[in-house]
Structure 1
Amino acid sequence: MEDLESRTKRYALAAIRVYRRLPGDSVGRVLGRQLLRSGTSVGAHYREAKRARSTAEFVAKIGGGLQELEETRYWCELLDEACELPSSHLKTFLQETDELIAILTQCAKNARHRSGMKAKGPAG
């Protein structure tokens, strides 16, 4: 099984590939930059979480990654509808987005459970 650090890096590279395939008009450029920024930051949040000094810090960093994933999903939805892309263009990327949301959500829940923290915030 691929570790999450590698998987989030692969996700960032996929975001770059999606961005490169977008139309060069102003809508494609503006929405694409947003997708590129949020999609490539997920792995950075995960790496920061791995080096957290406490469970609370870990959960907060994972929460940041979840926020970026949700934002990436939003930009993909807008791109899909506004740019009339072929359905295959974003399908795999959106599937990976949803899988990473589920994985990071579970990571935060597990960390809270192990430490006795109460669930709250975006990771929870």
Structure 2
Amino acid sequence: MKEIIKNRTKKFASDCWKLCSKFPISREYNAYCNQLIRCSSSVGANYRAACRAKSTADFINKLKIVEEEADESMYFLELFSEITDKEKIEINRLHKEVNEILSIIVSSIKTIRSRTQKS
């Protein structure tokens, strides 16, 4: 399962970069594109870091960062959806994908926390 999530998060970051490359170059678009590229790539980078965690607490902390970055990615995709009519289908697809990734991460955090509380 870890490899599947690693691949999905990497593809998500790559697809966000490709989306941003389709927008015009302007001060306004650049600000949001830079943020989306940063947070979308951070989702995968921090998930990989979580996979190398040294303890359960470290794993949960790193997954919480993934959760935050995924939520931030959703925010910028929502902004793009509101400010432009360009690439609506791709924006919606990416929003759906990151929402699924976020759901998996939140569920994982809850599962791990419940297991550690039972021990």
TM-score when normalising by structure 1: 0.87
Partner of 2:15: 14
CA distance in 1, matches of 2:55, 2:110: 15
CA distance in 1, matches of 2:6, 2:90: 24
CA distance in 1, matches of 2:36, 2:19: 9
CA distance in 1, matches of 2:4, 2:37: 22
Q: Residue deviations 1:7-43, cap 9 Å, x none? A: 1111111111111112222211110100000001101
Q: CA deviation at 1:97?
A: 0.8
Higher helix share: 2
CA distance in 1, matches of 2:115, 2:23: 43
Q: CA deviation at 1:112?
A: 0.9
Q: CA deviation at 1:84?
A: 3.1
Partner of 1:65: 66
CA distance in 2, matches of 1:9, 1:89: 16
> Structure 2 matches for 1:25-104, cutoff 5 A?
25-104=26-105
CA distance in 2, matches of 1:83, 1:31: 12
Contact 2:80 2:91 (8 Å CA) reproduced: no
Gaps of 5+ in 1: 118-124
Q: CA deviation at 1:85?
A: 2.4
Contact 1:42 1:65 (8 Å CA) reproduced: yes
Q: Which amino acid aligns with 2:114?
A: H
Q: Residue deviations 1:77-101, cap 9 Å, x none? A: 1122123324213011001010001
Contact 1:49 1:62 (8 Å CA) reproduced: yes
Q: Which amino acid aligns with 1:100?
A: I
Number of residues of Structure 1 aligned to a counterpart in Structure 2: 117
Tell me how large the CA RMSD over aligned residues is: 1.6
Partner of 1:121: none
Q: Which amino acid aligns with 1:83?
A: T
Gaps of 5+ in 2: none
Moved over 6 A (4+): none
